[in-house]
Structure 1
Amino acid sequence: MNLLFICSRNQWRSPTGEAVWRRVEGVEARSAGTSRNARRRVTLGDIRWADLVLVMEEKHASRLKAEFRQDLGHRPVHVLDIPDDYRFMDPELVELLESAVAPLIKAAQ
Structure 2
Amino acid sequence: MSNKTQWQSVCHIDDLVPDSGIAVWTEDGPVAVFYLPNRIPCLFAISHTDPFSGANVLARGITGDLKGQPVVASPLYKQHFNLETGACLEDTSIKVTIYPVLLDGDEVVLEVPIKAHDQAVA
TM above 0.5, one fold? no
Larger % of strand: which? 2
| Higher alpha-carbon Rg | 2
TM-score, with normalisation over the residues of structure 1?
0.32
* Structure number having the greater helix percentage: 1
